[in-house]
């Protein structure tokens, strides 16, 4: 069915409410909020450090002005075949092939952040072992908050993780290698084949910033996905 909707800015006049939703997501205390049931959020944000950029670069031995690009692998065993529009066979293939190709690209600083909930699937240490043989890839320090990583990354790569939506709320388009809840809104780079995917990865010094209207859309999707979709209800509790 079709409905008539007012212009974008008319629909998003209450930007304050959207902004509060985004801040709630990024706030260090959000992981301690009893209302949230999202273990990935708790594991990514709770008891983590927020660092200044100079300290962040020093910690990861980055001593140049090349852009920082962070790869966010999924938990390999977490429903790896549920994404019918993924460019790869599964999450493991995505990571294995991406790091192999990324290692050849030397005009950016590559960081890798293992999925915060990988321990739930018996995968602790797997990502670390996979990147050991690649000299251009560095493991992200586990004590650093995802908020810090997103703030200092020029771009990030995921299949369909909500970390891509978080990144778009900071004003930049993530690269996603599969269908996600935020697909189709023009707030992410969505290559349709491997040729396009590798072309984007080869040009990561380019800027992929969101327009003001696209940023409103990103924040709106974040709000409705994490907050607006859960109205208080005694009949159907969260």
pLDDT 10s digits, 88-144:
999 999 999 999 999 999 999 999 999 887 878 888 889 999 999 999 999 998 888
Identify whether the C-beta of residue 112 lies closer than 8 Å to the C-beta of residue 132. Answer: no
Handedness of CA 11, 17, 22, 25 (dihedral sign): negative
Exposed, middle or buried by CB within 10 Å (0-12, 13-18, 19+), for 223? Answer: buried
pLDDT tens, residue by residue, 146-168: 888 999 999 999 999 989 998 99
State what percent of residues in the chain have pLDDT above 90. Answer: 44
Q: What sign for the dihedral angle of Cα 120, 147, 190, 206?
A: negative
Mean pLDDT (the chain) is 82
Among 154, 164, 159, 161, CA closest to 203:
154
Exposure class string for 83-116: b at 16+ Cβ within 10 A, else e: beebbbebbbebbebbbeebeebeebbbbbbbbb
Which pLDDT score is estimated for 146? Answer: 84
112: enclosing H helix or E strand: strand 109-112
Strand partners, 144: 49
> How distant, in Å, are the alpha carbons of 14, 33, 126, 130, 212 from that of 220?
10, 21, 35, 36, 12
Mean pLDDT of 204-231: 82
For 9-65, the pLDDT digits (tens) are: 545 555 566 666 566 655 543 444 435 546 566 555 555 677 888 998 998 889 898
Beta strands in 36-100 (DSSP E): 68-71
């Amino acid at each position: 069915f079709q409905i008539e909707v007012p212009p974008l800015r008319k629909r998003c006049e209450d930007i304050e409410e959207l902004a509060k939703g985004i801040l709630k997501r990024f706030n260090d205390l959000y992981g301690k909020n009893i209302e949230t049931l999202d273990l990935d959020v708790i594991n990514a944000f709770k008891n983590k450090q927020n660092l200044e950029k100079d300290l962040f670069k020093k910690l990861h031995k980055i001593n140049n002005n090349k852009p920082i690009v962070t790869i966010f692998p999924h938990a390999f065993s977490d429903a790896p075949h549920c994404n019918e529009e993924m460019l790869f066979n599964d999450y493991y293939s995505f990571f294995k092939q991406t790091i192999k190709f990324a290692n050849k690209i030397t005009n950016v600083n590559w960081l890798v952040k293992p999925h915060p909930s990988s321990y739930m699937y018996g995968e602790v240490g797997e990502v670390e072992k996979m990147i050991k043989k690649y000299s251009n890839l560095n493991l992200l320090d586990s004590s650093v908050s995802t908020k810090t990583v997103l703030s200092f990354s020029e771009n990030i790569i995921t299949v369909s993780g909500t970390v891509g939506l978080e990144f778009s709320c900071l004003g930049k388009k993530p690269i996603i290698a599969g269908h996600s809840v935020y697909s189709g809104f023009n707030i992410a780079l969505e290559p349709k084949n491997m040729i396009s995917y590798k072309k984007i990865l080869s040009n990561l010094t380019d800027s992929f910033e969101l327009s003001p209207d696209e940023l409103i859309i990103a924040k709106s999707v974040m709000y409705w996905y994490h907050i607006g979709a859960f109205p208080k209800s005694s009949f159907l509790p969260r």
